[in-house]
Amino acid sequence: MTDSISLFSTAPDMATPSPTAVIELFDPPMCCPTGLCGPELDQTLLDVSEMILTLQAEGTAVERYQMTSHPHKFMNNNEVMRLVREQQMAALPITAVHGQVVKTGAYPTLEELRAALNGSVTQ
C-alpha cells in the first residue's frame, strides 16, 4: 500500500490565486483559437495573448472560447447568451471572472482583470 502525495498545500495561500479562479474569454469568431494566424498581426490580440500568458504564469486559470469550437460554453452561460442575443456580435468579446461578466465589447486590460480577481468588479 502506498500513500498518496498532494502537490498542493492543504491550507490555502491567500497570496496566490486559487487554481479555481478562472477567467473566461468568450471571443468573437476568429480564423484560429488566438486570432494570431493571419498575414497581419492584430496588436490587440497579441496584447491579449501576452496578458493570458502573464496571468497563467501567476497561477491564474484562463480559458478562451469561440462559438464555433466551444458552442456549449456559450450555451451553458445564461448571462453570455443573454448578451449575445441582445447585442449580437457587438457584445463580443465577453470576459467573465469567477463566472461573473466583467466586460463586454472589448478585451479587458491586465489591470482590469487583476481588479476583478480581487473583487473590484466594474463593467
Return the minimum-mean-pLDDT range out of 5-19, 42-56, 68-82.
Answer: 5-19
The Cβ of residue 108 has, within 10 Å, a number of other Cβ atoms equal to 21
Structural domains for the chain: 22-117 (3.40.30.10)
| Residue 119: Cβ-neighbour burial (10 angstroms; 0-12, 13-18, 19+) | exposed
The answer, yes or no, to whether residue 7 has pLDDT greater than 80, is: no
Task: Give the pLDDT mean for 50-79.
Answer: 93
**What global pTM score does this model have?**
0.76
- Maximum separation of any 2 CA atoms in the chain, in Å: 58
User: Over the chain, what is the mean pLDDT?
Assistant: 81
Give alpha helix (H) positions in the chain: 43-57, 71-75, 78-87, 110-117
The pLDDT, as a whole number, for residue 9 is 35
